[in-house]
Amino acid sequence: MIATLPELPLVSQDQRNAILSSPRTAAGHRALMQAIPAMNAVQCGGTASAAVLPDTLSVAAWNVERCLFPQASADLLRPYAPDIVLLSEMDCGMARTGQRHTAADMAMALGMAYAFGVEFHELDLGGPTERQFCTDNFNACGWHGNAILSRVPFTKVTLVRLDDHGHWFASDERDADPNQPRVGGRMALLAVVETSVGPICIASTHLESNADDVHRAAQFDLLMDAIDAFAPNVPVIIGGDLNTGNHMPPNFDWQPEPLFDRARAQGYHWSATPKGLTTRPSLITPHPDRQMKLDWIALRGAVPMSSALIPAQDPAGRPLSDHDAVWCRAKIDG
C-alpha cells in the first residue's frame, strides 16, 4: 500500500546498518524495501495555482540529472508555461545538491504542486564528478527519485515499482556496486488531475539504463498495466527517460526497442515527442560522444498540437543536465 505523506520518514541508523549488513540478494533487497517506509510512500506538497486544467495542456518531461540548479531549471521551463512537468533524477537531501529538496524548490519557483517518490536511497556521496559539488560529507536524506509538478491539485497519486529485485544492489546482478550500496530501483509516479473535459492520468517514469531492451519493455508493460488499474478509461500522458538505445554492448540505436510497438498495441502513440537526440555533455557527465535519444512523451486519448526540444542550458551556456527537456502541447480528446 502506497502512503501519501507531507514528509518522507528518514532512514534510521538501525535501517542503515541493516542495509550495510544485508545479504546482497534479491530476497534481501525486497525485505529492505518493505522495511523502509519512504520506499512505499509519495510525498506531496507545494501550492497549486488553479483548480482545473484546460483541455489543451503544456507538458514537459525532463531528466534533470540530480538537479544541481533548481532555480535555473525552473527558469528554463517558465517560458513554456507548463501545466504538468514530469521529472526524473531529482535529489532530496543529497550533499551534491546542497541538501536541497530539488522537486520542492522547482515547484515553488514555478508556483506548482508536487509529488515526489524515491527511486534510490543512496548511502554515499556519488561519483567523482558529483563530489566536487558536495557541501557536506553526509547526505541529510539520501533520496533520489522522480517527481510530478502540476498547476492543479492531484486527485490521487501512487508509486509503481518497476524493479524490486535490486538491480543495483544484489550481488548476482552485474550492476551492483559493493563499494556504494543503494536500495531501490526504477519506478514511476502516477497521478490523476482534473481538466475541463474530465480527469487524466499523468506518469513520470525512468526505465533501466544498465539492461537490454527486453528488460525495458517488460518494465513499460508493468507501467501500462499499473496505469490501467490505477486510472481506467481516462486519457494518459507518460513522460520520462526511457533509456532507449542503452544496449549491450552500447550502440545508441533506440529504434529497435520493443517497448514502442508494445505501447502502440495498448493504444499509445509517440508523436508528441520532438525529433532529435536528447543528451548533451554536462558538468556531471562530460561525454561529448554520448549522443542518444532517451527521453519520450507517450499519449493515449490525446493528440499533440506542437512539440519542442528544450536545450538544457542557462542563458550563460552552463549545462543544467545531461538531458534536454522534451515538451509538447497536447489536446485531450474530450
Read off the CATH number of the domain in which 205 is found: 3.60.10.10
Contact 243, 294 (CB under 8 A): yes
The tens digit of pLDDT for each residue in 199-225 reads: 999 999 999 998 999 999 999 999 999
The rounded radius of gyration (Å) of the Cα atoms in the chain is 18
The tens digit of pLDDT for each residue in 121-147 reads: 999 999 899 999 998 999 999 999 999
- Please list, in sequence order, all residues whose beta carbon lies within 8 angstroms of the beta carbon of residue 10, skipping any fewer than 6 positions away: 38, 141
State the Cα–Cα distance between residues 75 and 314, nearest whole angstrom: 8
- Cα angle value 234/235/238 (rounded, 5°): 125
Q: Cα 334 vs. chain centroid, distance in angstroms? A: 28
Task: Name the strand (E) or helix (H) holding 85.
Answer: strand 84-92
Amino acid at site 114: Y
pLDDT: is 32 or 288 the higher one?
32
Residue among 112, 118, 98, 105 at smallest CA distance from 60:
112
Question: What was the pLDDT predicted at 334?
Answer: 66
pLDDT: is 177 or 21 the higher one?
21
State the Cα–Cα distance between residues 231 and 150, nearest whole angstrom: 17
The tens digit of pLDDT for each residue in 226-270 reads: 999 999 999 999 999 999 998 766 678 999 999 999 999 999 999
pLDDT at 174 > cutoff 50: no
At 71, list the grid cell: 532555480
Domain that holds residue 20: 3-332
Could you give the number of structural domains in the chain?
A: 1
Report the residue count for the chain. Answer: 334
> How many of the other CB atoms lie within 10 Å of CB of 233?
8
Put residue 295 in one of left, alpha, beta given phi > 0 → left and psi -120 to 50 → alpha: beta
